[in-house]
Structure 1
């Protein structure tokens, strides 16, 4: 986070310096405003391409593996696991029911079973416990 703040701060400072230099060059008559704008545009295009390339080449920070044995030890069925994954994506019972082509009451039953099996009181707590048990990817 600090690195991102530093990079954007440096870009803002560079932009301000560039504007001041272009203003000075324009006032002194050495350069036309179109050339100053073109230089600024090319510079920021290059910076944008560099940032885009750098962000696309980053590897996932912590690829986690799902512990299938733990899922079966907890007695979580395949359908309950599907519901758990949908819960972790932030979907409501109705949305999960629509996506999995089930009734909303069936989803409520699966959620209740998951809460019991994961010893959780709320959906968010169930998701956190599932991540701690490494049965959900981070």
Structure 2
């Protein structure tokens, strides 16, 4: 399957699930169970996020970036925590670092958020409930 076919298949399935809320809810629960299992078994460690100096940078204490795919900021001081942001790379059709998933910044992490945007030349297209919020 080429990229166009893959994307079309995804869009068709998403449209289907949008109209069938029970199927969508079941898939969400399946993902939640899988996530809980991964956390319990430490399948994907989150040791950097759990460091005392980084805990305060996490908006949600139960949603932490995996060590193997976390976004690292360039060090601006000798402090190790200056490279931390709660964000992970997500693979896409064009490679393992096609997208970045992150939490909305806290008032204390907004500068880190904008550093990430700048350092990784991020372009943002954000939507909620199938409506664009920003471009």
Larger Rg: 1
> Which has the larger share of strand?
2
Normalised by the length of structure 2, the TM-score is: 0.27
TM-score by length of 1: 0.26
Q: Greater relative contact order: 1 or 2 (C-alpha under 8 angstroms, separation 6 or more)?
A: 1
Higher helix share: 1
